[in-house]
Structure 1
Amino acid sequence: MSRIAVVGLACRYPDAASPRELWENALAGRRAFRRLPDERMRLADYWDPDPAAPDRFYATNAAVIEGYEFDRVGHRIAGSTYRSTDLTHWLALDVAGRALADAGFPGGEGLPRERTGVVVGNTLTGEFARANLMRLRWPYVRRTLAAALREEGWADDRLGSFLADLEERYKEPFPAIDEDTLAGGLSNTIAGRVCNYFDLKGGGYTVDGACSSSLLSVATACRALLEGELDVAVAGGVDLSIDPFEIIGFAKTGALARREMRVYDRDSNGFWPGEGCGMVVLMRADLAREQGRRVYATVAGWGVSSDGKGGITRPEVSGYRLALRRAYERAGFGVETVALFEGHGTGTAVGDTTELTALSAARAEAAPDAPPAAIGSIKGMIGHTKAAAGVAGFIKAVLAVDARVLPPSVGSVDPHPVLAEDGAPLRTLRRAEPWPQDAPVRAGVTAMGFGGINTHIVLEGEGDGQDGRGRGRGLDAVTRELAASPQDAELLLLDAGTTAELRARVAELADWVPSVSYAQLADVADAARRRLSGRPYRAAVIATSPEQAERELRRLLEALDAGETALYTPNGSAFLGHVTRPARVGYLFPGQGAGRSTTGGALRRRFAEADAVYSRVRLPQTGDMAATEVAQPRIATGSLAGLRVLERLGLRADVAVGHSLGEITALHWAGAVGADAL
């Protein structure tokens, strides 16, 4: 099959205003989740911890775009048109323009306008158009309220005056219906808006494949290019739908996460919602090269299928396998040659199991001895952006192929049982890795949607040979630094000259931290660290989320209000202290029964000293982690790695104690047992 070149990229997702920011966030494992802001949807109105509560949802977190402003004046859009049109239209227009500029067509200059088309993935337009419909529901509200007040004995003259005032207040937030309202509330006119602005005449329309919409739009555009209908295509998706209709609807299907959102994990329990927009510019590869366009990657094939008689809201193995088969038949190579999969990965128990089972079986049947491929999902970073989800994963995979880097599988903490089986064909990554030297630079991207729609697109690196091999691989300095930065928790440190001053600082942070995202918690920790000045009254909190940080800070406030100056919580996550003399440090080395991971976790990702210890020992990655033959080397390795990191940080202990197996590590600390012997 002739290849389709990806020549332009642009996006706006939570905590990512550009593809570069999205890629750096992926490498660094930054997660954009935060408590759902009241400005978007009041938790007091809609949240209930009981999943069965009517008209309520049970998840409190989402990934939302902050600080976005559409340049109406710069785009020469009339104020009335702007106000009457759903924001999805303007976000899509903005991002499409940026994608065209990235492709070398700034402002649409140089485009073959009669042979340039636009295909946008979207479902239900957006939350703003839906909210504005409430204006037209006033007659129902008036009748219902009037009937209730008459039953309470209100006279007609009093009722009429009250309802007249209320009507004005009720309608005030919603723009008046005008000649732009209907077009501004339709999904298809999102694509039409882009065509209209840039004077494109190759055709513009919206495809609705539910959560598969935006990846389906890319496949649709590729087909139009391959068949010669278009020379340039803008494709992607937009979704701004964090509103009661969608969120409560997902809650009633059980799809929202009841605990921490995990992806391809033993505790996959649902997703947190997200939003955003992604657009790509596509051309036939030969034409793009002829024009000297920068090619990020090429589309080698795609496959689309439906689940037939399968479930309407849950994926089926057979349907997904069919999309995979069609994609790789079109590509001309096998699924076993692909080193990276950007999966659908919603984090639901059924969805993750179905996807991993189908893809693992396809690879195992194609080549049982093929090295395991990496798999991840961008939803672990920005939540489920629904109609804009597929293109978000597509952009991430394109950038991975372009950089020759396998990004970490954000959100996979304890890999799913399908991935933990001996000889599993897939694996998740805790940190970025160079593209395998002996593997073709190929990636597969998947999206699935309600109604049983499945889409899979295959990418190949530009500049590689017929076998997909060619350009060098490796991590540059910036990538190495970003890849080393993810960690499992943050340390918030505060100090002050008096208890009153310390209380004020703890209270300030406790009031602020609920509004930050998971990723920004690291920024908060760094900002707090920079304010330290060695003062005697001190507080510390270890937190894995903004919610936990607030909870532990409130605990410190309670202790300070009770007059306490010393506190150490049982779980070690909150600390108060008053320094009166130089500290002494002691180490306690654990015995058998501690932990269960052999990966080295954040310690190994962050510190070369720990990585060197783990690389030397080569602990098993699968099997029974509690078995003595695995547990003892695992625990001793973890202790030795921790000791090397503490030495690297300049920490020296005055005394060390070992429990059980830890006695041997303590002897090593004392110099009685060498590292090789340990």
Structure 2
Amino acid sequence: MSKIDVVVTGLGATTPLGGDVASTWDGLLAGRSGVRTIEADWVERFDLPVKIGAALAEEPTERIPRVQARRLDRCEQVALIAARQAWADAGFTEPTDEHTDVVPERLGVSIGTGIGGPVTLLNQDDLLEEHGIRKVSPLTVPMLMPNGPAAHVGIDLRARAGVHSPASACASGAEGIALGYQMIQTGRADVVIAGGAEACIHPITIAGFAQARTVSTRNDDPAHASRPFDTNRDGFVLGEGAGVVILERADLAAARGATVYARLGGFGITSDAHHITGNHPEGIGQIAAMNEAVRMAGLSAADVGHVNAHATSTVVGDIGEAAAIRKAIGEHPVVTAPKGALGHLVGGAGAVEGIATILALYHGLVPATLNLEELDPKVELDVVAGEPRKVELSAAVSNSFGFGGHNTALLFTPA
């Protein structure tokens, strides 16, 4: 079976830097931070050691009617916002059962989440304990289920070729895009709405990560807390948001005169089989994922000029990934780490950073890694710091690695 060219024709996002792709991209280029002090009263009530997070720059109710928003978990809200943006950006009209630009039976969805809707679960449990069953919402299960974000997007945009919701921790968004590519390659769909979403800044997640000592406690300086590859990094900052791309058969995109941002040339999905939270010490899964993405694209490591690093700002993780990039790709790529500005969007991270990688290719401009003041000497890579860097790229890789040993690498080439 011959390989089908798969291209990206639409982009959508809502993040700590902005309520859409344009404002998020502008924030990355300008070096703005999306990390702020958490204003919720529960921070003091539980005396949490971590008082910072990367909350959405724009509340979902600014784009979704409040009546509809009340029927959706926050994770579902951000997925729907990003998907609608991407759909419109691809030039598609609002779908109906009678007519759409894409036959519904040829339209798929693949939107991942790492955590899903536990905020709904915990809030409804509080109501049950305080007021009894009569106060529990009949929408509790549809709001908390991890396939909720993908399912709501599928219903909203009339997708009937299949709706998938990979849950691979911090690799979920990237895996969502990879599975969307597979849907097209295997002939199941012509167009796929793909990406990831997360919205779980909550005392239980903050407390859990704090107890594991994986998050930054730089409470007195939120904007400088997330510091990928920096010598003084002390952990990641939990964020929320969603990113969605429209993947489409290249021939169909050309026939309708669509704008093409990039070509998705290949991907690699591997698993470490090593530890539930720690990466393999030799980076074998990360290296294999990048190698497979390059192989699938029919390229060599020398062709990859840019790597969007997963780099969360943890002491051990950043060093391990840097070594893996050197072994898989080499020391020549221009590297950046958007989590310095965005925080860690967990299930949404791989999709939002995939969009950043696409735009770096599209504009020939790689954003700087925010807060990188002193590169860790163990990071033997060309990491962009200070100002964005103009580059001419023939291929770029975006990495996403998650708890459980999940590794996904996406490879994009210019349109």
TM-score by length of 2: 0.91
Paired with 2:89 and 2:83, the residues of 1 have a C-alpha distance of 10
In the alignment, what sits opposite 1:450? 403
Cα distance per residue 1:178-208 (max 9 Å; x no partner): 4433222212132121222222211112110
Give the drift of 1:97.
1.2
In the alignment, what sits opposite 1:388? 348
Q: Secondary structure at the match of 2:102?
A: coil
Match of 1:181 among 130, 140, 164: 140
Give the drift of 1:71.
6.6
In the alignment, what sits opposite 2:173? 214
Amino acid of the structure 2 residue aligned with 1:391:
A
Match of 2:195 among 236, 239, 262: 236
Answer whether contact 2:230 2:374 (CA < 8 A) is retained. yes
In the alignment, what sits opposite 1:291? 256
In the alignment, what sits opposite 1:96? 83
In the alignment, what sits opposite 1:345? 311
Answer whether contact 1:7 1:293 (CA < 8 A) is retained. yes
In the alignment, what sits opposite 2:74? 87
Change (3 A) 1:396 1:103: same
Amino acid of the structure 2 residue aligned with 1:434:
K
Give the drift of 1:68.
1.4
Cα distance per residue 1:374-400 (max 9 Å; x no partner): 111211111011110111110111111
In the alignment, what sits opposite 1:312? 276
Q: Secondary structure at the match of 1:117?
A: strand
Change (3 A) 1:60 1:184: closer
Runs of 4+ in 1 over 4 A off after TM superposition: 71-74
Paired with 2:305 and 2:210, the residues of 1 have a C-alpha distance of 35
Change (3 A) 1:407 1:82: closer
Paired with 2:237 and 2:64, the residues of 1 have a C-alpha distance of 34
Answer whether contact 1:62 1:274 (CA < 8 A) is retained. yes
Paired with 1:444 and 1:67, the residues of 2 have a C-alpha distance of 29
Answer whether contact 2:197 2:348 (CA < 8 A) is retained. yes
Give the drift of 1:299.
0.7
Q: Secondary structure at the match of 1:107?
A: coil
Answer whether contact 2:18 2:58 (CA < 8 A) is retained. no
Change (3 A) 1:71 1:176: farther
Match of 1:18 among 17, 20, 37: 20
Amino acid of the structure 2 residue aligned with 1:375:
V
RMSD of equivalent CA atoms: 2.2
Amino acid of the structure 1 residue aligned with 2:279:
P
In the alignment, what sits opposite 1:245? 204
Paired with 1:431 and 1:73, the residues of 2 have a C-alpha distance of 35
In the alignment, what sits opposite 1:114? 105
Paired with 2:182 and 2:373, the residues of 1 have a C-alpha distance of 38
Give the drift of 1:372.
2.5
Paired with 1:373 and 1:430, the residues of 2 have a C-alpha distance of 17
Give the drift of 1:72.
8.5
Match of 2:31 among 29, 32, 48: 29
The structure number with the bigger radius of gyration is 1
Paired with 2:251 and 2:9, the residues of 1 have a C-alpha distance of 12
Paired with 1:71 and 1:373, the residues of 2 have a C-alpha distance of 39
Cα distance per residue 1:204-244 (max 9 Å; x no partner): 12110001100000000001111111000001111110112
Q: Secondary structure at the match of 1:418?
A: coil
Give the drift of 1:103.
0.4
Give the drift of 1:43.
2.1
Which aligned pairs between 1:538-549 and structure 2 lie closer than 5 A? none
Amino acid of the structure 2 residue aligned with 1:277:
A
Answer whether contact 1:63 1:274 (CA < 8 A) is retained. yes
By percentage of residues, which structure has more helix? 1
Amino acid of the structure 2 residue aligned with 1:23:
W
Paired with 1:98 and 1:175, the residues of 2 have a C-alpha distance of 37
Amino acid of the structure 2 residue aligned with 1:91:
V
Are 2:245 and 1:280 equivalent residues in the alignment? yes
Q: Secondary structure at the match of 1:247?
A: helix
TM-score by length of 1: 0.57
Cα distance per residue 1:70-97 (max 9 Å; x no partner): 37886xx9x4x75343122232222211
| Structure 1 gaps, min length 5 | 48-56, 139-166, 365-370, 463-678
In the alignment, what sits opposite 2:221? none
Q: Secondary structure at the match of 1:409?
A: coil
Give the drift of 1:409.
1.8
Q: Secondary structure at the match of 2:39?
A: coil
Answer whether contact 1:342 1:375 (CA < 8 A) is retained. yes
